[in-house]
Structure formats: C-alpha cells, structure tokens
C-alpha cells in the first residue's frame, strides 16, 4: 500500500478545513457530512481515474492512427469510475469565482449518475445549493491538497474512512451507528475469508464490510466484482446513499435495499448466503413479537417476549437471522453486545440450540473503546456450517481484551501486526500450520531487513555527530568515551547482521528452523534497544555542551543532529518491534500448533460449555493472563500512552474552558 509519511497530519488538516463548513453554512452537524463526503467521493474517484487511465490508454486498439475514446467499460474492469470532463475534480477546482460552483458540482454528480445506474439519485446534489460560492471553492481547494495529488486510491481510501470516523465521533448520523471500526471489520474478514459467492450484510450501514471484503479479495489478485456479489439491507435512506458512494468510490457495486431487517428479508436469502457479516444495533427491545413469531429465519424459536408483546432484546433475533441466511457451507462473522454471550432465560435456550448445532466456530472478546461513539466492550461471533467433523463439538474461545493499541485517549484499535497475530491463531485452529509459519518467517525476515535498513541512518547520525564534536572547543571525557563506544557497538551490530543474514539464507524454514533463527536474531533485537539508549544519551551530552559553549551557529547543527537522531531511532525501534511479533507467536505456540494459552485462547468442548450454562463468553474459559515480567516493561509505549491521555485531557479542558467563557459572556459577566 502506498503511504504518505505525514498522512495523519494531512487528515487532520483536511478535517479542520471541512469542519469549518458548520460555521459558514446553514447546516447542522448531522447534515453537512453528506456534501463533504460527496466532495471526497469526487476527489477519490478522480485520483483512481488518473491512476488507472495510463494503463488503459496503453492497451487501447487503434486504426489508421486513431485510438478509440475511453469508455465506462474500460474503467469498470479495473475497479474505477469513468469520469467525463465535467465530472473531473481538476475541472471543478479551476472554476472561477464568477462561476456557479454549486451547479458545476451538481452537473458532475449527474454526469456520474448517467453512467452508473446504481448511483442514480444517490449522490448529493441539491445540498450544494445551500453553500456559499466562496465556501464551496475553499472546500474544493481543501480536497485538492498538493500532497494528495499523486496519492493512490489506498491513501484516499484511508482519508475516506478517517472522515467517516470523525463524523461518527461527532454523532453526525444516528449516533455514529453507521460506521464500524476498521479493525473489527478486518478481523471479521480475516477470520471468515469472504473470497467468493454471495456476501450479505443485513445491517450494512456505510458498507465497510463490503469494502474490506473487496480488499481481501484483491490481495488474492482477483477482481471482487468477478468473484463476489454484495447484498445489503439498511433502514436509513441517507445511510444507503453513503454506502453506495462508499462502494462506488472503491470501484464496487452492491445490491443494497431499504428494509427493516427485523421484519423483512429483501434479498430472500434464507439458506443461500456464502458469507454473512454485520454489526447490528445492540439490545433493541421494541420488536413486535406477533409479526415475527412464524418467521422461518428463527429456527431456534423466539427469544424472550415481554408483557407488551415485544421481544425483550433483539440480539438473538439478529443472531438467528445471520445463522439462517447461511447455506450449508456458509460462514458468518458479526459484532454483538457482550451481554448476549451469557444472557439467561429464553435467550440461553436459543444459545444452547446454536451450540448443539455444531456450527459455532469461534468467539472473540474485544475490550472497550474500540467504537468511536460507544465505550462498551463487545464480542465477535463466528459461525461455520462447514466445520471439520472433529471440531463440531468444539468452540474456539479467544480473549483479545489485552491485545490493543491506543490511538487516542478514547479510541483503541489493533495494529496490523496484532491483527495478523490474532488471525494466525485461527489458522492454527483450522490446521493451517503453513500460514502460521509463513507469518513467523515474514517477521524474522523483516527483523533482518529492518536491521540492515537502520545502518545508513545510524552512519549519518554518527558522521554529523562527529562533525559537531569537532567544532566544539571542549568535549568532556564522558562524551568522548560514549562516542567511541557507540562507534564500536554499531560496527559490532552491523557485523552481526551480516553474519546472521548469511545464516538466514541457508536456514530451514520449518518450525525448528524458525525457532533456531529467532534465538540467533534476538541479540540483534535487544542490541537495537541498547543502541537507541546510547544515541539518545550522546545527543543529550553534545546538545548540552553546544549550549554551554556560548558559541553561535550551533542551533542549526544540533537541530539537524536531532532530526537524524529521530530517523535512526525510529529505524532501530522497528527492529525490536517486529522481532517481538515473532516472539509473541513462538512463545505462545512453540510447536506451531494450537494449544490453550492462559488468558488468551482455549479450545472448549460442548460439555464444558454445557457445564457453564451454555455461556459463550471467552473470559469465562481462558482464565486470566499472567502479568508481564518487569524487564519487558515497555517504557516508551507507556510514555506514549501517557502523552495521548494528557493530550486528550488538554483538548477537553480547552473545549470546556471555551464553553465556560461563552456562558459567562452570555450572562454578561
């Protein structure tokens, strides 16, 4: 995936500019997201268009020196949208202040809708007439950021998701329910691997399940449109528009219909779906039991009904629907309230029947703070109607509550490596040892590669440091000794890398060979941490002496040295970080086979589940994870978490102070 080094800063800058729309329009916060997302849609579509266009033009047939014009079909086959000149973002950005920008954007949307039947009446149009011409011009320029002009669809896909996240965080639409955190969607996709056939989401929101499924298929070097068909249901018309835009901007099409899934099955999917994925609303308590009592999608019967004739909690309606949609080889993965896995009464009876069917594959506990608008924990449920016979009476219990990364004070997610590691446990559960070993091998290979990549920035730091020391009139003995030691340690580090690189190339890549390789690479990982401490210490020594010298001209030199220090340290950090991923897997699964790991995973049989009131709560079975040893304490990660916490508190304090000041002003105080 293409990346921009400062993508996070760009995202925040774009969001800040777009968020000013609220102060310069008649829109409330729950209204302005659609015109903003419409502009991002146009910009993303244009980026993808420009990226694909050269390869299409190179393959176009020509007659008599004339090449035929580009067509919609040329782009559809490449997962992109064909754009007529008036629909191209560059055209809109270059409009003059005297031009009617709102009408031009409307024309662009209509041009796209005329080519794509599934988008007719979907794209925002009339909404732009409410915007001031200058405000719209500023927004267009905002999304034409120079740093993004050469960005690939991957980058704009991330920005698209970032904006969805921010709108969800503001509760801009239905309390943010339209957006499922990417980490959870990716985990569901990784576990059920929706690589063919019909993929259905009966509570599809903005279509994130479909987009991540398509990314999964693309990684297999297949076309999502050729091998899979996406079906969705959603009750909110505005969210349906957003979903169709989200699919289209990724070059996808989906059959999404307006429906209340409690009472309707608009795609008639009973027993037909290859894959079901969803994040339904939790704990709904007003579903009319009379309307659904004979629904064939409830093979295990109704869950509890209250005195008002309503289902007491809709969680098990969703669970039953998802199960019933699957064909005899189908797989399902969905997000569910953590209350559901141990609920009592009639819900427990439904759960018993589910477990006894032999089709519950895995349960995964997720800690709180993964959602953008809710702090509650949740669980991921996985069904598999094609389980291996010897696994029919077993359920994989995976407690992932201790596996997370802090993004902000209020939001957590999985890092790519954490997600891969959790997925590899499912591979072992399925007997796919080779995939597990390939992941471990990739980590060890990356450890060596990252160690080699650290050589150049370290050498640059040492050279600049040497030059700066040479300019100082006086250098204390401690600094001189530390500098000499760093030089010799770096040489030893580089020699070890060269030797282990040769060993790696000839080493066996079976489990025994990888365990042996990891043992040899561990000193490299540990040395990288020691070198970071030495580099940081030396920088502080020299910076202090440069300041105390009182000589002019050292500010820029120390600033340059600091920048090189940061680059070298970042490379060295990566060495140990990646090695630790291999160590995490090998320590827990030394035979490269599934085993019970206290506090993490356990393969539970039906008798144990029965003895626990048919509970499917992972924490009830896996136990408590042992505390990490003190010597493995990650000071830098802890410091980062503290910084995130402090930053979040400061931001909240600033907002609160501004509100208090405003209240005082309104009171005339």
Model confidence at 636, pLDDT cuts 50, 70, 90, reads: low
| pLDDT attached to residue 155 | 62
pLDDT, tens digit (0-9, with 9 covering 90-100), for 536-558: 999 999 998 888 877 777 888 89
pLDDT, tens digit (0-9, with 9 covering 90-100), for 487-506: 999 999 999 999 999 999 99
Q: What is the CATH number of domain 175-431?
A: 3.40.50.150
| pLDDT attached to residue 655 | 66
| pLDDT attached to residue 17 | 73
H or E element that contains 327: strand 326-337
Closest CA to 450 of 584, 535, 572, 563: 572
Model confidence at 245, pLDDT cuts 50, 70, 90, reads: confident
What's the whole-number mean pLDDT along residues 402-413? Answer: 85
Model confidence at 631, pLDDT cuts 50, 70, 90, reads: very low
Q: Which of 296-310, 327-341, 365-379, 442-456 has the lowest mean pLDDT?
A: 365-379
Three-state SS for 348? helix
Domain 1-162 CATH class label: mainly alpha
Model confidence at 150, pLDDT cuts 50, 70, 90, reads: low
Model confidence at 637, pLDDT cuts 50, 70, 90, reads: low
Neighbours of 472 (CB within 10 A): 17
pTM to 2 decimal places: 0.85
Closest CA to 256 of 270, 269, 244, 242: 244
Neighbours of 497 (CB within 10 A): 21
Q: Average per-residue pLDDT in the chain?
A: 87
Model confidence at 264, pLDDT cuts 50, 70, 90, reads: very high
The tokens of 112 are what?
Answer: 């796209």
Residue of 395 and 664 predicted with greater confidence: 395
Residue 323 reports pLDDT greater than 70: yes
Give the pairing of strands 326-337 and 273-278: parallel
Longest dimension (CA), the chain: 90
Non-local (6+) Cβ contacts of 241 within 8 A are 34, 122, 123, 124
What's the whole-number mean pLDDT along residues 623-636? Answer: 62
The DSSP result for 564-607, as a single string, is HHHHHHHHHHHHHHHHHHHHHHHHH-TTSS---BTTTEEEEEHH
Residue 90 reports pLDDT greater than 80: yes
Question: Which residues are paired to 277 by β-bridges?
Answer: 333
H or E element that contains 513: helix 511-549
Closest CA to 170 of 3, 28, 17, 332: 28
| pLDDT attached to residue 143 | 83
Domain coordinates in residue numbering, the chain? 1-162, 175-431, 437-593, 638-668
Closest CA to 157 of 21, 294, 272, 3: 3
| pLDDT attached to residue 630 | 46
The tokens of 65 are what?
Answer: 């020196």
What's the whole-number mean pLDDT along residues 209-234? Answer: 91
Q: By the 8 A CB rule, do 353 and 198 touch?
A: no
Model confidence at 367, pLDDT cuts 50, 70, 90, reads: very high
Domain 437-593 CATH class label: mainly alpha
């Amino acid at each position: 995936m293409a990346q921009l080094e400062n993508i996070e800063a760009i995202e925040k800058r774009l969001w800040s500019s777009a968020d000013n729309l609220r102060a310069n329009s008649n829109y409330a916060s729950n209204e302005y997201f659609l015109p903003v997302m419409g502009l991002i849609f146009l910009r993303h579509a244009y980026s993808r268009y420009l990226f694909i266009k050269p390869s299409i033009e190179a393959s176009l047939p020509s007659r008599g020196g004339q090449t035929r014009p580009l067509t919609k079909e040329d782009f559809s086959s490449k997962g992109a949208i064909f754009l007529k000149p008036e629909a191209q973002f560059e055209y809109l950005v270059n409009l003059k202040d005297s031009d009617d920008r709102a009408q031009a954007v409307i024309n662009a949307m209509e041009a796209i809708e005329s080519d794509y039947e599934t988008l007719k009446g979907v794209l925002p149009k009339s909404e732009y007439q409410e915007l001031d011409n200058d405000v719209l011009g500023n927004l267009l320029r905002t999304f034409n950021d120079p740093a993004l002009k050469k960005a690939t669809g991957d980058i704009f896909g991330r920005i698209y998701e970032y904006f969805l996240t921010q709108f969800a965080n503001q509760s801009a639409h239905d309390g943010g329910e339209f957006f499922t955190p990417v980490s959870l969607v990716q985990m569901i996709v990784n576990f059920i691997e929706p690589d063919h056939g019909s993929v259905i989401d009966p509570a599809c929101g903005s279509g994130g399940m479909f987009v991540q499924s398509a990314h999964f298929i693309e990684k297999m070097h297949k076309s999502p449109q050729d091998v899979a068909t996406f079906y969705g249901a959603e009750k909110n018309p505005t969210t349906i528009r957003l979903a169709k835009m989200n699919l289209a901007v990724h070059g996808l099409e989906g059959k999404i219909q307006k429906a209340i899934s409690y009472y309707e099955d608009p795609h008639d999917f009973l027993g037909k779906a290859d894959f079901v994925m969803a994040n339904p609303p939790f704990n709904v308590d007003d579903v009319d039991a009379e309307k659904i009592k004979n629904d064939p999608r409830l093979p295990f019967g109704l869950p509890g009904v209250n005195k008002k004739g309503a289902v007491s909690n809709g969680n098990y309606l969703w669970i039953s629907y998802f199960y019933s949609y699957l064909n005899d080889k189908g797989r399902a993965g969905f997000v569910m309230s953590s209350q559901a896995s141990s609920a009592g009464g009639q819900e427990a009876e439904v759960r018993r029947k589910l477990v006894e069917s032999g089709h519950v594959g895995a349960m995964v506990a997720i800690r709180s703070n993964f959602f953008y608008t809710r702090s509650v924990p949740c669980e991921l449920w996985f069904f598999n109607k094609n389980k291996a016979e010897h696994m029919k009476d077993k359920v994989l219990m995976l407690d992932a509550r201790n596996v997370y990364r802090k993004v902000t004070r209020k939001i957590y997610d999985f890092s790519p490596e954490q997600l891969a590691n959790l997925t590899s446990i499912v591979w072992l559960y399925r007997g796919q040892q080779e995939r597990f070993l390939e992941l471990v091998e990739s980590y060890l290979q990356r450890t060596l590669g990252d160690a080699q990549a650290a050589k150049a920035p370290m050498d640059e730091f040492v050279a600049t440091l040497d030059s700066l020391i040479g300019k100082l009139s006086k250098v204390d003995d401690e600094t001189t000794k530390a500098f000499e030691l760093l030089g010799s340690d770096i040489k030893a580090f580089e020699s070890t890398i060269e030797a282990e690189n040769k060993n790696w190339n000839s080493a066996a890549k079976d489990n025994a060979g990888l365990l042996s390789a990891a043992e040899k690479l561990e000193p490299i990982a540990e040395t990288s941490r020691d070198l970071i401490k030495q580099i940081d210490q030396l920088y502080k020594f020299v910076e202090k002496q440069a300041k105390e010298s009182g000589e002019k001209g050292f500010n820029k030199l120390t600033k340059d040295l600091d920048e090189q220090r940061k680059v070298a340290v970042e490379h060295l950090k990566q060495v140990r970080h990646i090695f630790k991923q291999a160590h995490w897997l090998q320590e827990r699964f030394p035979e490269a086979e599934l085993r019970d790991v206290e506090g993490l995973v356990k393969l539970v049989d039906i008798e144990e589940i029965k003895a626990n009131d048919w509970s499917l709560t992972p924490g009830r079975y896996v136990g408590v994870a042992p505390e990490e040893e003190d010597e493995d304490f990650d000071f830098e990660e802890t410091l980062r978490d503290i910084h995130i916490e402090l930053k979040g508190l400061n931001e909240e304090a600033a907002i609160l102070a501004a509100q208090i000041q405003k209240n005082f002003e309104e009171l005339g105080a």
